[in-house]
Structures are given as C-alpha cells and as structure tokens.
Structure 1
C-alpha cells in the first residue's frame, strides 16, 4: 500500500495560486489499494481516464480530501491542512504496517506527516527533509555550487548574495558582449528567469524566460537595473540570485533519475521545445540529440544525482541541460521533485537510455491551445472518443490527457499527450484544432 500526497511546491519557496489541477497527476502513480490525499475533490472523469489507461479499477483507489487550509482553502495542501490533528487521527486508523509515503514535492510537512501517523523515519530521506532539505535541493544557487564541485559544466556566471555582487557579475558578462540571464533561486517554468539584453540584441525565442529587460545605453545602466530588480530576483532578500551568460541554444533537454538509499536509477529523458520563453511541448526520448551528447548528458546528470544522494536527498531528480550550437552540453538547473514528465515515463515505459525511437513512434506532451474552447475534462475526452483519437495501448498510438482541465481557467489549464508516427503528427494536431476550435464556449 502507498499513501500518495498530491502536494505542490512549498509556499515557503514560491506559491502556485491554485494547484488542484496540476496535483492530480498523482493518480498516474496510484495502484489499487492505495490512498491518495488531495486538497480538493478529484476530477472524476480524469480519475476514470487514468485508471482506464492503466488497467486499474478506480473504485479501488481511495481518495481523501484534506480539511481547508487557513490561507489557501482547498486550492493547495498546506501544512496546517495535512497535519490537522483530526485528519491525522483519521488517516492513522487502519493503515496497516509500513505503507510507503509518496509525495509530488519533497516537503518537510510530508516527513512530519509520516511521523505523526506512526511511520517513524519514512519516507527515505525524511531526516534531510525535516531540516529544510527541499529548499537546499531545489535551489538554483546550490545547484551551481554542486555542479562546479562535481565537474559538471554550467553556463558561465555566478551566484550573487548582494546587489554589489550582482552588478559585478553582470558587468563582466555584458562587458564581454554577452546577454545575461537572471534567475531567482526558486521558481519554475521560466517564471523566475529574466533575460537582460544589451542594446541592439534580439531575444532568443528558444529559452525559458518569462521576463525581458533591455539595458539602456546610459551610464550605470547595470546599477540602475539592480536597484530596480534586486528585491524581485532575491525574493525580498531571502535567497541568492544567479547571474549567467545567455547561451546559443540548439536544443534543451532533461535527464530524470530516481535517487534512493543505494543508487540513482535512470527513469526518463526528453527534449523541451520553447517559444516566446514558454515550453510549448515535451518530447520523450533523446532521438533529437546526437548520441555522444545524449550519452554525456546522462553521464553528467547521474554524477550530479550521486552528489545530491550523498547530501541526503531521496526521490525524483530531474537535471535540465542545453546543447549549444557548438554541440557542448551544459546544465542549467535541477528539480528535486516530480515533474510533468515523471508519470509519463512510468506509464509509457520509455527506455531512458535509448536515443532512437522504437517503431518510429514519437511521444510529445502539449498544453491546450488558447484558441480552443475546452472547459472540462469530459468535453475533451468525449471529443477524442467521437473522433477516434483516443490512445490505444494495443497500438501505442493516440491521444490521452496527462493533467485534467480546469474549468476556471480559459486556456493552458491541461496537458495532453500525442503518441504517433512522426509523419502523422501534423495530421493529429490539425484534427484536434478543428475538433475543439469549433466547440462553442459554454463558460
């Protein structure tokens, strides 16, 4: 038996306003007889969809909803909700001997939850998490220090703990003619990244940065930039800031491992595509990366994972990297938590070491289009079924939902996966667009 906790990143690091949709990817990890803890009631259509794809009876997956948190209600699992004494007492009854604890994010509250229901030091790495280890493991500043110590290449730059240090680091890069990426220690999906451009530079579209800033040609432009942006970049002075050179990126990729007490096991690899500073799709496998660079990425990511294992971290570990125009592999950050691809590698059993596609099947994950008018999981799944596009395990092709739709959000609320012959992908995308662009807005 497993107890699966559908928590989001700790609000002490940064706060997603509403994690109810994204957290339901937890069902991809659930088996019959497991208990899933959510912040709110699940999307029943999505639960049936995932269980159907995995051959699981949804009625045999128990779901419990935390009491509302004081600040976040049912939007997120907060410590005061998960650790509510009455909720803890209720969960502790009848859990049997030694259930495994699985969480989407390695939070200190998960370690405390395990102790309060009587599981002692479970899960693995609890002692590390209990002392705030998730902040350390997920910090982009810590990553640069550990990568440097492990001999894993990163973009030229520095970790800065004051405005003066940040000015110095940026002046060195700008002075050499480079544009600069400023990174918050804790944010995701490019939200905490700002591209700082020299006068006359053009912003590259294939990197993850939600914010852009163009330096003026006047004196002390860099000093003025940091007077304006230091508090944002440092989260009101709480964390150091990364300042690094913008690279000429050919491809962005990742290597995901599972870190345990005894080993670091490869679980998945993939390529990330960007447009306008946002991820547009995720391709499972490294067929788009030449074999020598793919092998180096896996080797260096494993070396990094071994360092984090020695530090005390246990759990999912995803190392992000880029392949530059001159074919070098440099790492950009790590995510010590489950990602939006962790469950896909589990479900599709993608061979992480492979760098060629089996049977020429390409697997990509997309966000729903802003041009669509999908308002519910049921609407999307029914549309797929009527059009004959639903994923088939027998053929290994078709479309399925990876994260459910969120009716309160107009677009970008859910993720779906296309598995097909590469030559057929454009036709799949065209059919989806025709199918859902034509549905009238029910909201």
Structure 2
C-alpha cells in the first residue's frame, strides 16, 4: 500500500487501460473504467503529478485537495486520452506527452512512478523517464520475468494453477479454448447443475455469465454459450457455488514478506463488484483467506513482485466452506479508498474504523457540485472534526454511477450513514 507519509515525489499513473485486466481490444469497457481514474487524486501529496485518461472536474479537485490539506495548485494533473487498443503508458508517447512527463521527472530527483497496473509498457515508460516504479527499492526496475508473472496471475487460469500448487481451495473447474466452451459447459451443467462461465482475462465481472439463467431452456442456454464463445479466446468454467458472502482481502508485498492490510465483504450484482464493507462482520471469519493470501504473497515476493494485491473468495452456504475465486495483482477498487480512510481518519491499524463503498445510478445532468451539495445539505459530508461522514471519492459525470465512501466509528453507524446518503443522492435528476 502507499505510505501516507511518503516524501518522494510521485507520478501516479492511472493506467486503467492495461492488458493486465482485460484485452486492450475491449475499448468500450476500458473507457467505462476510465471514468473512475480521477479517484487516484487521493494518492497525491504536494508536488505530485497525476496522469489520468479523464481529467477531474475543478469542483472535485478543489474538494479532494481541501480534505487532504492542500490546494489544486500544489499538484499537477496531466490528461492522457486513451487510444483504442493501446496501453495508457504507450498512449503517453502517441499523444506527445512524453517530454512533459520527462521535464517533470527531471525537476524532481528521486521521483517515483505509482501505476494502477504493472505491465510492460509501464516499466518501459518509467525507464524512459528515468524514474523508479514504486515500491521497488534502490532504483531497480521490476524484472521482466516478474512483469510476465503478474500478467499470468491476473488470468483466471493462471490464478487457479498457482492456487492448486499452494493448496488454496478453488471451485471445481476447467480452462478451455473458445471452440471447446459449449462442450465443457454442457458437461459441467450435467454434473453440477449450475456453472460460472468466465473469460480467462477479465475484471469487474466483465463477461461473466451464470448458467442456466432462470427460466432458460436448453436451447437458450446453448445459444448463449455459443454467442459467448465469440467474445474471448479462452474461458474458465467453474461449478456454481451457492454462497452467503463474497469476501475480499487485500495484502501488500514488501521485501520478502506479504502483509495483510484489510478485508471485508463485497456487494455484487450479477457477478460485478458494486461495493465493499470493512471490516468483516463478527459472524464471518477470514482466517483461512488471510492464510491463503499470505501464502500467495510469499510466492509473489519470490517472483520479485512488490506492491498490493487482493484475493477474493466465496463463503459457501452449505457448510461454510471457503473457495478462492481470483487474485488481482494490481491496485483494485478498494486500495485507493483504503488509503483515503487512513489519511482522513488517521486509523492506527486496519479495523480501527468502519468504512463502506458503494454507488447509485447516475443521472443525465449529474455533476460533482450537485451531488456534493446534496450531501452537505443533509449534513452527511465528511467532517474531520466529527471523524465521520460521506466522501464522493470518485468524480461525478453525467450517466456515470455516483460512487461514495462512508467512514464511521462503528459498522452500525457506517450502515446508517450509507442509508441516509443513498436517500440523499438518489433521484433521476440532479437538477433543482
């Protein structure tokens, strides 16, 4: 994780456009994810630079910097428009911004790059700029074999292979080529009754299907599988696990050690992540998940990886068995909100405060000013003196989900504030 007291200047690269999470041909979904890039402003300190595919609004920048005790003039924001089919680090060159970033880096000896995703284009960009990649020590760049391993472990099949080697329980499943997908699904449905069908490289629930769908007959299911097979070259088919909770634990690799940072429950809709609740409720234990994550992290350390990663799992309804479903060896949707919680609440350790994230549907006329005004009028906006409240941790754009972070002293209070915030923010229009 990022140390809130970090002194070295940072170039925060919001490279949501990376082949690490999905194929770069998925430009529509990458553009959708890019609307969340302004949230990385919460990682900045005076003197830092944010390279983002979507420029934050002035209102969002002012509010964020105000909470962090600085002004927008204390930081630099460079907009790097995504180029279809291209990783963001390569887009920097394509749009002519390499000299801009190079001048910034030369003026700040010791500057480091902090990317969302560690991929080969990013390490090349850091090399060309003459700066380190955080948190790698002593100026040594991430080795090529480490970057390749990170690419592999961000696939469903790569994770499942390593999980079995490390004695981490995963749902019964099989990896197959697109041409074999219908037959594999047919076989698993006959054996298990329900399956999860996942593109081998995907994130955020993109492309995930649960079969059979309620009310669908055999012909409809076959047609859906045939159509799905054209969307990706490789797939993972798993037995559907009826579950009572979706868990996610986050870790960081520093040196040769892996350290647990925090864990919580995910809210999920049709397999897509929609929110997070931390810490875990008393009725749920993550001891096994933490053990798995530590084991997984030690393996990453041996591969030369340094930085954050997350491990997701399902807590089965029947018998409470835990099944790991994927690893995200990169910054995730929870790592930046966690840093923000630590910076705002001054938490001495994970679990010292409760925090939730979530979102509501956007409106055609939505803006940060209007959404923030609604929270302020309801006296729900985060107040440092109270140590609780709601932060719009991502910028607000028309027809884009409005994302919020709730911070409170207890789980019950966080749930209450979230309920009130959703009521205040809800509505088809953000106008008067």
Match of 1:403 in 2: 394
Match of 1:96 in 2: 108
- Alignment of 1:392 onto 2:383: yes
Task: Report the CA distance shift for 1:369/1:152 in structure 2 as closer, same or farther (over 3 A).
Answer: same
Match of 2:3 in 1: none
Match of 1:211 in 2: none
Equivalent of residue 181 in structure 1, options 184, 190, 196 = 196
Q: Tell me by how many angstroms 1:262 deviates.
A: 2.7
Task: Report the CA distance shift for 1:289/1:29 in structure 2 as closer, same or farther (over 3 A).
Answer: farther
- Alignment of 1:150 onto 2:166: yes
Aligned residue pairs total 407
Q: Tell me by how many angstroms 1:162 deviates.
A: 5.5
Task: Report the CA distance shift for 1:433/1:85 in structure 2 as closer, same or farther (over 3 A).
Answer: closer
1:13-45 deviation line (CA, Å, top 9, x unaligned): 443124442111211111111122123432222
Match of 2:265 in 1: 271
Bigger mean CA deviation after superposition, 171-180 or 19-28: 171-180
Q: How does 1:70-85 map to 2 (within 5 A)?
A: 70-71=83-84, 78-84=88-94
Q: Tell me by how many angstroms 1:90 deviates.
A: 2.9
- Alignment of 1:341 onto 2:334: yes
Match of 1:330 in 2: 323
Equivalent of residue 253 in structure 1, options 247, 250, 261 = 247
Q: Tell me by how many angstroms 1:275 deviates.
A: 3.9
Say whether the 8 Å CA contact 1:257–1:264 is kept in structure 2: yes
* Aligned-partner Cα distance in 1 for 2:13–2:235: 31
* Aligned-partner Cα distance in 1 for 2:413–2:40: 30
* Aligned-partner Cα distance in 2 for 1:290–1:427: 21
Equivalent of residue 109 in structure 1, options 117, 121, 124 = 121
1:375-427 deviation line (CA, Å, top 9, x unaligned): 111111122222211112333211111111112x2x52x31022345445565
Q: Tell me by how many angstroms 1:439 deviates.
A: 8.1
- Alignment of 1:51 onto 2:65: yes
- Alignment of 1:159 onto 2:178: no
SS at match of 1:45: helix
Task: Report the CA distance shift for 1:128/1:249 in structure 2 as closer, same or farther (over 3 A).
Answer: farther
Task: Report the CA distance shift for 1:120/1:57 in structure 2 as closer, same or farther (over 3 A).
Answer: closer
Structural RMSD (CA): 3.2
Say whether the 8 Å CA contact 1:321–1:333 is kept in structure 2: yes
Q: Name the TM-score, length of structure 2 as normaliser.
A: 0.83
SS at match of 1:33: coil
SS at match of 1:24: helix
Match of 2:144 in 1: 128
Match of 2:46 in 1: 32
SS at match of 1:319: strand
Match of 1:313 in 2: 305
Q: Tell me by how many angstroms 1:163 deviates.
A: 3.4
* Aligned-partner Cα distance in 1 for 2:219–2:95: 59
Task: Report the CA distance shift for 1:305/1:127 in structure 2 as closer, same or farther (over 3 A).
Answer: same
Q: Which runs of 5+ in 1 are unaligned?
A: 204-213
Task: Report the CA distance shift for 1:77/1:60 in structure 2 as closer, same or farther (over 3 A).
Answer: farther
* Aligned-partner Cα distance in 1 for 2:430–2:111: 45
SS at match of 2:406: strand
Q: Tell me by how many angstroms 1:87 deviates.
A: 2.5
Equivalent of residue 154 in structure 2, options 108, 133, 138 = 138
Say whether the 8 Å CA contact 1:108–1:129 is kept in structure 2: no
Task: Report the CA distance shift for 1:323/1:121 in structure 2 as closer, same or farther (over 3 A).
Answer: closer
Task: Report the CA distance shift for 1:227/1:352 in structure 2 as closer, same or farther (over 3 A).
Answer: farther
Say whether the 8 Å CA contact 1:179–1:195 is kept in structure 2: yes
Q: Tell me by how many angstroms 1:89 deviates.
A: 2.5
Equivalent of residue 192 in structure 1, options 204, 207, 214 = 207
Task: Report the CA distance shift for 1:131/1:379 in structure 2 as closer, same or farther (over 3 A).
Answer: same
Task: Report the CA distance shift for 1:129/1:108 in structure 2 as closer, same or farther (over 3 A).
Answer: farther
Say whether the 8 Å CA contact 2:155–2:202 is kept in structure 1: no
* Aligned-partner Cα distance in 1 for 2:177–2:427: 52
